[in-house]
Structure 1
Amino acid sequence: MKARVIAFYLPQYHPTIDNDIWWGKGFTEWTNVGKAKPLFRGHWQPKIPADLGYYDLRLSQIREEQAALARDSGIEGFCYYHYWFGNKRQQLELPFSEVVRSGAPDFPFCLCWANESWHQKFWKIDNSVTKKMLIEQKYDNVDGNKEHFFHLLPAFKDPRYITVDGKLLFCIYKPLEFKNIDVFIQQWNELAVENGLKGFYFVGQTYHSEDISKIKSLGLNAVNIVRLFDYYESLSSIERKLKQLFRYVMKRPLVTQYNATAKYFVGSEEREQDIFPTIIPNWDHTPRSGKGGYVINNSTPILFQEHVKNVFKTIEQKPDEYKITFLKSWNEWGEGNYMEPDIRWGRSYLDALKNVFSAY
C-alpha cells in the first residue's frame, strides 16, 4: 500500500534574538527538555536524544541526518511549521530557509502555518493556564497576503515541495481562528496559477471531529484530525472529575495510558477521502508545563506499531494520492512527541513504522 506519511517538523533548536530576550541567552527547546524531571512513579524524564544528540539546526549535517532517518523509515517528507505573524514578522524561519536556499537535504517538504499568538504560559494544577502575550498573531490585508506568497514562492516552485494531485499541500493549524481565510485562499490560489503553479491543496487542522464541516465550509480542501484528547473526552463526567481530583491531590500531571488512549487516535471520519488521520507515537508535555501538563504514559514501539497498522487499515481504500496521514511529530521533544532516536528506545519507533510499511 502506498501510504503517504508526512511528519510535522519543529524548526527550533537554534538560538534566536527574541528567545534570548524572552528566556535568556542561548535558550532553545533543549533547555526545557534537559531540565525536565519525573513527576510520578513510572514517569520517564528527562528524554535524552541518542543518534543526533542535542543538535543545532543551523548545521546542515544534522538536517541531512534527519532526512536520512526519516526516509529509511518510510516517511515521505517533513511538514515544517511556518510562523508568520503578519506584516512580514516571522519566527524560527532559519532552518527551512536554509533547506530551500541550499537545495539540501534532497527530501520532500511542505508547510504548516502555525497561525497562533505566542505567549509565555504558566500551567496550573487545576488545568488552567495564565498567559502573557509575546507575539500576537495578526492577519494581513490583500497586499500583505501577496508579500507572504512571494516570500514563499521559491519553496513553492521547488521540485521537493509535496503536492496532492499536482497542487501544493499547505496546512493551516487553526483555520477557525483565521480572519478572512476565504479571501486568503482565493488570493493565494490565483497567485499560484499566475506563477505557473496548479494552486493549493489547503488542509485545516483540528482536535475536534465536530469541526470538520465548519472547516470545509471555509473553502479548505481537507481536514487533519489530531485525536490527542479523544480518549479523555470519552470518559464519563464522573471519571473525568475523579482524574482531575486525583491529579490535584497528588500534585501530578493528567496521565492516561498509551494502550488505552491509542485506540481513540483514529475514527471513522478518517475513512473519507479528504479527512486525514494523525499518527501519534508518544506525548508528554511536562517539560513545558510541569505538573499542569498531560502525559500519555507507557508508549512502546510495539504499541506504536499496532497504532500505525490501524491507521493504515483506515486509509487503505482511498486512492493512492489521498492515502495521507500526518505524523505528530518528528521532533517535538518539549512535548515528548517525537520519532528521533533517544537513549531508551534507540531507533525502535522508526523501525516500527518501517515494519508496517514492509508488511504492506
Structure 2
Amino acid sequence: MIKKIRFLAYYLPQYHPIPENDKWWGKGFTEWTNVAKAKPLFKGHYQPILPADLGFYDLRVPEVQEQQSELALRYGIDGFIYYQYWFGNGKMLLEKPAEAMLKNKNIKIPFCFCWANETWKGIWHGLDNPNVLIEQTYPGEQDYCNYFNYLLPFFKDERYIKVDNKLVFHIYRLDDIPDLDFFLDIFNQLAIKNGFEGVWFVATHANSNIVIQNTKIYGHVGLDIFNSMRYEQSFKYRSGTFLGKVERKLNKKFKISLVNWNPFILDYRIAIEKLHVNFIHKKYIACVFPNWDNSARAGIKAMIFKNSNPEIWKQHLRVTLNEIEKNSENPPFLIVKSWNEWAEGNYLEPDTKFGMQWLEALKEMKDIFL
C-alpha cells in the first residue's frame, strides 16, 4: 500500500479559436482541425484517432470543463496541470479556459499550472517551416512580478494544489530561464507576502544536478524516460531495421538522415519494457503515458507508439506504482502525460476505439495500490 499519491494529468487549454491560430493556420483552427484530417501512414496504423463521449468540444462552452472535471475525478485523476503560456511583457496565449475555470465553481477538480516557457516554432506545431511564431522572453523583475500578480487569483483559489501551504508550480524548461534563482526568489517572496509558505517549483526539462542542488525546487517530472526514446531514434532504435542500415551509410558518407522522411515507429509494449522507471534522486516524480501518435500534427515526421491499448497501459501503471512504493520519500505525485493532447495521440479522454478503457485501467490500478 502506497502513501497517498495524487494523480495529476497535463491539460491542454487549446480547443478554442484564437487570433494567432487563425493567422498561422487559418480561420477557426484548433487542434481538432489536425485530428479530424489525420490519415494512416502504414498498414494497421490507427488513424484518425477520434474523441467519443466529449466529442469535438469547444472550451468556450462551460459545460465542457465541468464534464471533464467530473469524468477525471470519477476515474481517479486528482488534479489537472494546466499548461500556461506567458511569453514575457504580459503576452499570453490560450489563457481563456483557465480564466473561465477560475470563475466556474462547478468545476471541482483541483489544478495547478505548468509554465510552458518555450518559443513556438512552426516546425513543432505542424507547419512545414522552422520560423518562430512567437518567442519566449524573460524581461526581468517587473515582468516576473506582473506574471505572479496575474496568477495570484488562481493561487488563492481553494482548488489550487498546495503542499504544506506552498504553491505547486511547474516549469516546463527550467534551464532556459537566464536568471533562474532571481525568478525563483521573486515568486517565493511574493507568495509569502500573500499568505503562503512559499512556492514548490517542479521542473520538467531540467539538468538533474541543478534540481538536486537547488533547495527551492521540490520535484522533477520524469519525462526523461519518454524523451530518451525520441532523441535516440536515429541510432539506437532504428539500427536493426533496413532503414536504419541505409541511414547509417548515408549519414556516414553524405551526412544525410532519413529521420525527417519517415515516421519513427515503436511498438508500445516494447517501449514500456524499455522504459525502466528510475528514481535517480529524491525529487524525482514518475511520469506515465497511455499512448502517443503525433502524426495528426507532424505527418511523416511523427513519432508513433503503435499498438498501444488499455491493457498494456495498465502494465505501465503497475510497474510504475511498484517503483513509487519503493521510493516513498519522493514527492507524493504521479504525473500522467496527458489528459487531452489529441493531436499528439496522447490522451485519457474516451475515444471511439476504446471508450472509457484508458480511464478504467487507471482507476483499477489506483484502487489496487492506494
TM-score, normalised to structure 1's length? Answer: 0.91
| Alignment CA distance shift 1:231-1:28 (3 Å) | closer
Residue 177 of structure 1: CA displacement? 1.1
Q: Which runs of 5+ in 2 are unaligned?
A: 248-257
Answer whether contact 1:232 1:240 (CA < 8 A) is retained. Answer: no
Residue in 1 that maps onto 2:73: 71
Residue 231 (structure 1) shift: 4.6
Q: Matched residue pairs, number? A: 352
Q: Is the 8 A contact 1:38 1:44 kept in 2?
A: yes
User: Separation in 2 of the partners of 1:262 and 1:122?
Assistant: 25
Give the 5 Å matches for 1:168-183: 168-183=167-182
CA offset at residue 216 of structure 1?
A: 3.5
Shift of 1:313: 1.0
Contact kept, 8 Å, 1:265 with 1:278, in 2: the verdict is no
* Sequence identity percentage: 39
- Tell me the residue number matched to 1:48: 50
Deviation string, structure 1 residues 45-93 (Cα, Å, up to 9, x no partner)? 0111000000001111110111111111111100000000000000000
The residue type paired with residue 286 of structure 1 is S
Q: 2:272 aligns with which of 262, 275, 299?
A: 262
In the alignment, the residues of structure 2 paired with residue 292 and residue 23 of structure 1 have an alpha-carbon distance, to the nearest angstrom, of 18
User: How much does 1:130 deviate?
Assistant: 4.7
Per-residue deviation at 1:242?
A: 4.8
> Alpha-carbon deviation of 1:137?
0.2
In the alignment, residue 359 of structure 1 is paired with which amino acid? I
Asked whether the 8 Å contact 1:231–1:264 carries over to 2, the reply is: no
Q: Which amino acid aligns with 1:354?
A: K
Q: How many angstroms does 1:193 deviate by?
A: 0.4
Give TM-score scaled by structure 2 length. 0.89
* Cα separation, partners in 2 of 1:299 and 1:321, compared to 1, 3 Å: same
Inter-partner Cα distance in structure 2 for 1:238 and 1:68: 42
Partner of 2:186: 187
Give the 3-state SS of the residue equivalent to 1:98 in structure 2.
helix
User: Residues 320 and 59 (structure 1 numbering): CA distance in 2 closer, same or farther, change over 3 Å?
Assistant: farther
SS in 2 for 1:11: coil
Question: Alpha-carbon deviation of 1:251?
Answer: 5.4
Q: Is the 8 A contact 1:230 1:265 kept in 2?
A: no
Q: Using the TM superposition, give the Cα deviation of residue 322 of structure 1 relative to its aligned residue in structure 2, in angstroms.
A: 2.4
Question: What's the counterpart of residue 201 of structure 1?
Answer: 200
Q: Quick one: which of 50, 53, 60 aligns to 2:62?
A: 60
- Check whether the contact 1:331–1:339 (CA below 8 A) recurs between aligned residues: yes
1:277 aligns with 2:294: no
Q: Is the 8 A contact 1:123 1:290 kept in 2?
A: no
Unpaired segments ≥5 residues, structure 1: none
Partner Cα distance (2:136, 2:288) in 1 = 28
User: Is 1:8–2:10 an aligned residue pair?
Assistant: yes
Q: Give, in whole Å, the separation in 2 of the partners of 1:71 and 1:195.
A: 29
Q: Which amino acid aligns with 1:89?
A: K
CA–CA distance in 1 between the matches of 2:158 and 2:330? Answer: 17
The one-letter code sitting in structure 1 at the alignment partner of 2:88 is G
- The Cα of 1:250 is off from its aligned counterpart by 12
Of the three residues 327, 332, 342, the one matched with 2:336 is: 327
CA RMSD of aligned residues (A): 2.4
